Amino acid sequence: MSAKIIDGKAFAAGVRGRVASHVARLKADHGITPGLAVVLVGEDPASEVYVRSKGKSTVEAGMNSYEHKLDADTSEATLLALIDALNKDPAVNGILVQLPLPKHLDADLVINAIDPAKDVDGFHISNVGLLGTGQKSMVPCTPLGCLMMLRDHHGSLSGLDAVVVGRSNIVGKPMAQLLLGDSCTVTIAHSRTKDLAEVCRRADILVAAVGRPEMIPGDWVKPGATVIDVGINRIERDGKTKLVGDVHYASCAEVAGAITPVPGGVGPMTIACLLANTLTAACRANG
């Protein structure tokens, strides 16, 4: 079998187009331009790339982008004061603090200082609780993007066996909540899971979010399963830097029914969902 390739880039372009049309209507009919503030502390090169890309996409969607770049040795008090100012600023509908933060800063404290209504990452403890109890919340962008592609491919997910490999707060845990919300039977697997291969082979939907390059080979995949690869890992191969996912693409694509590529799968959907969340926040803020 050769898997259908789920084209996240094309899917994301559709989402971004719909967000841009809605933003244009908001502007024309109500004079409202949604705004997203992105805060980057330090000079992590990967984070700088992500932040630049988020800013560019925000502007392309017709929204205002406010970038705040702070030195790596910024104090917690300074960062919290900035968040407080952004919370109070009516032009800012969404606030995103790029993670990871430098070690001297308490990420939980910082994230929980963001107004939950502006928490477009969905990381604030209030949004985590709302999602966990099936209430209206801001939903983390990467799992939301995965869910949208899964719904598009399967229609209903009800009753499917889903295995999420990875238990991070950013992807694994919220992904599991969303799949549960769509009536999947959900297993969260991780580095300590016994016989991980066997657990993965049970999955109709296999979501890989472990951050280990090409960790999941094709013989861990049930024939016909849908494989969602959240990993974005830079590796050196044949003297070149290459982006690979958490699954071994060639062997998994032989067995799976559908698979997301890296790049061009989950990655573009994360940014598209960030724009969608910012638009949602702006609509809620303006009644």
Binding site for ligand GUN (CB under 6 A): 96-99, 121, 141-142, 170
Both structure tokens of 153: 């491919």
Other CB atoms within a 10 A radius of the CB of residue 189 amount to 22
Q: Catalytic residue numbers?
A: 54, 98, 121
55 annotated ligand-binding residue: no
The whole-angstrom separation of Cα 190 and Cα 188 is: 7
Residue 158 annotated as part of some ligand binding site: no
For the CB of residue 201, give the shortest distance to ligand GUN in the complex, in Å.
29
Q: How many CB atoms lie within 10 A of CB 240?
A: 7
Instruction: Using the minimum distance from each CB to ligand GUN, give the nearer residue, 3 or 57.
Output: 57
Q: Name the minimum Å distance from CB 136 to ligand GUN.
A: 20
Contact between 261 and 47 under an 8 Å Cβ cutoff? The reply is no
CB of 274 to ligand GUN, least distance (A): 8
Report whether 237 belongs to an annotated binding site: no
On whether 42 is known to bind a ligand per the annotation, the reply is: no
| Inter-axis angle of helices 266-285 and 8-30, nearest 10 | 20
Measured from the CB atom, is 47 or 64 closer to ligand GUN?
47
In order of 86, 112, 116, 185, the CA distances from 80 in angstroms are 10, 10, 15, 40
Shortest Å distance, C-beta 143 to ligand GUN? 10
For every residue of 147-194, which 3-state class applies, written as one string? Answer: HHHHHHHHCCCCCCEEEEECCCCCCHHHHHHHHHHCCCEEEEECCCCC
* Residue among 226, 243, 283 nearest 46 (CA): 243
Kindly tell me which of 120 and 206 has the beta carbon lying closer to ligand GUN: 120
Closer CB to ligand GUN, residue 141 or residue 259?
141
Q: How far is the CB of 80 from ligand GUN (least distance, A)?
A: 16
Residue among 55 and 218 whose Cβ is closer to ligand GUN:
55
Tokens of 150: 């899964």
Residue nearest to ligand GUN (CB): 99
Cis bond upstream, residue 213 (ω within 30): no
Which residues does the annotation place in the binding site? 166-168, 232
Which residues does the annotation place in the binding site for NADP(+)? 166-168, 232
